[in-house]
């Protein structure tokens, strides 16, 4: 099959971009061909790319903070003219891609605007489409109802609506009500490539670089934005008996560094964004961490960084938000903590730090869950089945 993906952001810098890159890689492993329509400029080896120009050559809109889009407007801040320009830019590029690549199917990531484009392509070129909803797109829809009507029309024409967690699916169905046929919806989460994480490695470089010999380490990775709740980990740091490493960039970094300074913390370290050239160091941090903390205060779609920690047998301390319970079972492979509650973070993290056997047992359980449920070689089969069912021109998700 030939699959054309529509994606609205750069391919690096956020979770849905990682999701899409992994999909293309997994599809290629199965012998399928992929192409991506997006504003990305960085080359990607597993798919042909068709680049969408920036709005008026100025900016790429965003839903929330993005390391490459610091000065961009959010979608809920766009003027009517800017929405029109963004739609037109995507439509023109997609038509060129369709005529050149000749896809069998279109797969849209994130609702609003791109599904409008896919609806047009289906109507004119008779190419069916499916849509994956990631969660941040629903958050944007809740903030700005201008996108609702055309999106509802487009979703009715999609062959399948795919969500990355039960929470995201339920939110989608609740938001669009009668426009969504429940039997057209499926839950297919992202995952990881096991061979990327289970390869042999060591922590010598991280231990030496950050002076971690014989010390406990607590890790956070992700975009530094208010929704991630990183400030509550920092507020807990004074009472956590370990060195705390915060990996990532975002609009909140300055505020978080100031908070750590005001609290006179000596055990909080801001590492920054570890890109492709520092990927081995990124993996070594996962290997070295005694506990991984994700104190999100909003409804995370799934949390791929949590899976990445778990594959290295690292127990996790997380909030029970959004799709996170899909991978974390309280007391089995980690602990849940209350959102915005530093005291709870202190108690759960220190409980794990004190008890090596508990860390080991929970870490082993964490890895087992990833191996069983979040291996891309298994996940991609579910997408391929959806694609095959969508190829019939007469099929629109309805049971026969």
Residue 4 has what DSSP assignment?
A: E
What's the pLDDT tens digit per position in 322-372?
778 888 999 999 999 999 999 999 999 999 999 999 999 999 999 999 999
Distance of alpha carbon 7 from alpha carbon 71, whole angstroms: 20
Q: Has residue 396 been placed in a domain?
A: no
Q: Indicate if 119 and 176 belong to the same structural domain.
A: yes
Distance of alpha carbon 45 from alpha carbon 188, whole angstroms: 24
Cβ pair 304, 328 in contact under 8 A = no
pLDDT for position 273: 82
pLDDT for position 397: 43
Q: Has residue 239 been placed in a domain?
A: yes
Distance of alpha carbon 42 from alpha carbon 382, whole angstroms: 28
CATH at 18: 3.40.50.2000
Q: Indicate if 273 and 138 belong to the same structural domain.
A: no
Residue ranges in the chain whose pLDDT is less than 50: 394-400
pLDDT for position 303: 76
Q: Indicate if 115 and 7 belong to the same structural domain.
A: yes
Q: Has residue 46 been placed in a domain?
A: yes
pLDDT for position 197: 80
> DSSP H helical segments within the chain, as ranges?
15-29, 80-101, 114-125, 136-143, 148-157, 166-176, 194-197, 204-209, 230-236, 253-262, 279-288, 304-311, 342-354, 356-373, 376-390
pLDDT for position 57: 66
Q: Which of 122, 43, 116, 123 is nearest to 86 (CA)?
A: 116
Which residues, in sequence order, are CB contacts of 143 under 8 Å at separation 6+?
76
Q: Has residue 94 been placed in a domain?
A: yes
Q: Has residue 147 been placed in a domain?
A: yes
pLDDT for position 321: 79
User: What's CA 115's distance to the chain center, in Å?
Assistant: 19
Q: Indicate if 239 and 154 belong to the same structural domain.
A: no
Q: Indicate if 223 and 328 belong to the same structural domain.
A: yes
Q: Indicate if 204 and 122 belong to the same structural domain.
A: no
Cβ–Cβ contacts within 10 Å for residue 14, how many? 22
What are φ and ψ of residue 317, in 5° steps?
-120, 115
Q: Has residue 397 been placed in a domain?
A: no
Q: Which of 212, 227, 1 is nearest to 102 (CA)?
A: 1
Distance of alpha carbon 130 from alpha carbon 341, whole angstroms: 39
Q: 122 vs 98, 118, 341, 380, CA distance in Å?
A: 11, 6, 48, 24
Q: Indicate if 215 and 165 belong to the same structural domain.
A: no
Q: Which of 225, 228, 266, 222 is nearest to 247 (CA)?
A: 222
Domain count, the chain: 2
CA angle 66/67/68 to nearest 5° reads: 90
Q: Indicate if 173 and 282 belong to the same structural domain.
A: no
Distance of alpha carbon 83 from alpha carbon 81, whole angstroms: 5
Domain span at residue 121 reads: 2-191+376-390
Residue 54 has what DSSP assignment?
A: P
Q: Indicate if 340 and 364 belong to the same structural domain.
A: yes
Q: Indicate if 266 and 187 belong to the same structural domain.
A: no
Q: Has residue 342 been placed in a domain?
A: yes
Q: Has residue 399 been placed in a domain?
A: no
What's the pLDDT tens digit per position in 86-102?
999 999 999 999 999 99
Q: Indicate if 106 and 152 belong to the same structural domain.
A: yes
Distance of alpha carbon 122 from alpha carbon 195, whole angstroms: 37
Residue 378, both tokens: 């298994």
Q: Indicate if 207 and 298 belong to the same structural domain.
A: yes
CA angle 337/341/344 to nearest 5° reads: 50
Which residues, in sequence order, are CB contacts of 361 under 8 Å at separation 6+?
none
pLDDT for position 393: 53
């Amino acid at each position: 099959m030939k699959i054309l993906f529509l994606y609205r952001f750069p391919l690096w810098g956020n979770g849905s971009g990682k999701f899409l890159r992994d999909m293309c890689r997994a599809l290629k492993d199965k012998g399928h061909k992929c192409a991506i329509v997006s504003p990305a400029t960085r080359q990607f080896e597993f798919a042909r790319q068709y680049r969408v120009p920036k709005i008026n050559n100025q900016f790429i809109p965003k839903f929330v903070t993005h390391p490459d889009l610091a000065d961009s407007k959010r979608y809920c801040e766009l003027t009517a003219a800017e929405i029109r320009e963004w739609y037109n830019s995507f439509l023109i590029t997609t038509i060129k891609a369709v005529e050149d690549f000749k896809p069998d199917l279109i797969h849209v990531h994130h609702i609003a605007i791109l599904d409008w484009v896919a609806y047009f392509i289906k109507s004119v070129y008779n190419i069916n489409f499916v849509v994956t909803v990631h969660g941040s797109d629903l958050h944007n829809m809740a903030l700005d109802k201008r996108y609702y009507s055309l999106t509802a029309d487009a979703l009715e024409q999609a062959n399948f609506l795919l969500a990355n967690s039960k929470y995201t699916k339920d939110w989608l169905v609740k938001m669009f009500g009668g426009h969504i046929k429940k039997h057209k919806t499926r839950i297919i989460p992202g995952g990881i490539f096991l061979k990327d994480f289970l390869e042999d490695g060591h922590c010598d470089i991280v231990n030496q670089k950050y002076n971690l010999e014989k010390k406990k380490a607590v890790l956070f990775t992700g975009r530094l934005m208010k929704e991630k709740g990183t400030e509550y980990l920092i507020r807990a740091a004074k009472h956590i008996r370990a060195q705390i490493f915060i990996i990532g960039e975002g609009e909140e970094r300055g505020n978080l560094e100031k908070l750590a300074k005001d609290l006179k913390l000596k055990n909080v370290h801001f590492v920054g964004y570890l890109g492709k050239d520092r990927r081995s160091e990124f993996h070594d941090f996962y290997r070295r961490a005694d506990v991984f903390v994700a104190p999100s205060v909003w409804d995370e779609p799934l949390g791929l960084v949590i899976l990445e920690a778990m594959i290295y047998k690292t127990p996790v301390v997380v909030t029970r938000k959004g799709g996170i319970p899909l991978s974390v079972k309280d007391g089995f492979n980690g602990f849940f903590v209350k959102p915005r509650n530093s005291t709870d973070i202190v108690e759960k993290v220190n409980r794990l730090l004190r008890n090596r056997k508990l860390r080991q047992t929970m870490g082993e359980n964490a890895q087992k869950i990833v191996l069983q449920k979040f291996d891309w070689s298994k996940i991609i089969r579910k997408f391929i089945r959806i694609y095959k069912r969508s190829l019939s021109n007469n099929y629109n998700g309805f049971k026969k």
